[in-house]
Amino acid sequence: MRRKVIAGNWKMNNDLTGSKDLINKLVQELKNEKYNCEVIICPPFTSLAEAGNLLKGSSIMLGAQNMHEEESGAFTGEISASMIKSTGSRYVILGHSERRTIFKESDQLINKKLKAALKNGLKPIFCIGETLEEREKNITNNVLKRQVTVGLEGISETELKDIIIAYEPVWAIGTGRTATPAQAEDAHNFIRNLIKEKYSKNAAENIIIQYGGSVKPDNSGELLSQPDIDGALVGGACLKADSFIAIIKSA
Ligand code: PEP
């Protein structure tokens, strides 16, 4: 049985005070709730160290939203995997569609970042997904295949055990337009088969594939009950403790 994993991507929201408030609420409220999944929050870099302190002793895990592929050096403004690790973070989101489109990150660059994260003991949440144009041209599967093949190039089956894949159709991110459970399940099943072809049946059965794209308390239950959907990567709805907790409880 694969465990379900719910992750919250805070994006560029919450200063230090806002981060502390939200984390304290989550820790406090989740203590009194019964839920059946792993929970990860990914605040901005500036809140990670404080989040690491506040989450000590809690079952909520911490992740970053991006990182640079090099270990250290003259990369003004960048953050390395070991810096992220030192905050108590165990996860890092890589290849988010906002990084791919706004910051022009290529599949090759994301592959380097995945390798650097794994080398430093960080578990990547590796995001893939097609744009609306690609879906309408009927090339969704080609796009997913390219992103998986290039993104995971040179990554072993042992290393793959530390990777979570997040299928996030770009047209569903922050738009309020969710993939239907059937559309999402189709894509997840296709991705799982890609993993089977590239690695093994065992690797495919064990990999966690999250869905992301306008997940809200009123659609999470149905999405998460699909056989190949193992969790959610949540943007907007993770910024309020109530809605994030409702999604966690629906898993
Ligand atoms: C995301 O940023 O990964 C995301 C899925 O955002 P939203 O839930 O707001 O669509």
* Nearest CA residue ID for atom 6, ligand 1: 235
Ligand 1 pocket test target in 215, 218, 238, 244 with most atoms within 8 Å of CB: 215
pLDDT for res 174: 87
- Structure tokens belonging to residue 141: 């599967």
Low-confidence ranges of the chain (pLDDT < 50): none
Other CB atoms closer than 10 Å to residue 94's CB: what's the count?
28
Q: Which long-range contacts (CB under 8 A, 24 or more apart) does 18-21 make?
A: 19/43, 19/44, 19/47, 19/50, 19/51, 20/47, 20/50, 20/54
Active-site amino acid positions: 96, 168
How many angstroms from the chain centroid is the CA of residue 2? 16
- In angstroms, rounded to a whole number, what is the distance separating the alpha carbons of residues 18 and 250? 25
* Nearest CA residue ID for atom 2, ligand 1: 235
- In angstroms, rounded to a whole number, what is the distance separating the alpha carbons of residues 199 and 192? 10
Q: Are 50 and 77 in contact (CB under 8 A)?
A: no
C-alpha 96 to ligand 1 mean position (Å): 9
* Nearest CA residue ID for atom 1, ligand 1: 235
- In angstroms, rounded to a whole number, what is the distance separating the alpha carbons of residues 43 and 26? 13
Strands (E), 135-242: 164-167, 208-212, 231-234
The finding on whether 219 has its CB within 6 A of some atom of ligand 1 is: no
- According to DSSP, the residues that pair with 41 across neighbouring strands are 8, 62
The finding on whether 184 has its CB within 6 A of some atom of ligand 1 is: no
pLDDT for res 1: 80
Render the burial of 141-159: b for 16+ CB within 10 Å, e for the rest: bebbbebbeebbeebeeeb
The finding on whether 215 has its CB within 6 A of some atom of ligand 1 is: yes
C-alpha 215 to ligand 1 mean position (Å): 7
Question: Is the whole-model pTM more than 0.85?
Answer: yes
The finding on whether 8 has its CB within 6 A of some atom of ligand 1 is: no
Closest CA to 67 of 95, 87, 39, 47: 95
- In angstroms, rounded to a whole number, what is the distance separating the alpha carbons of residues 63 and 41? 6
Amino acid letter, 35: Y
- Structure tokens belonging to residue 231: 């969790």
Q: Are 160 and 117 in contact (CB under 8 A)?
A: no
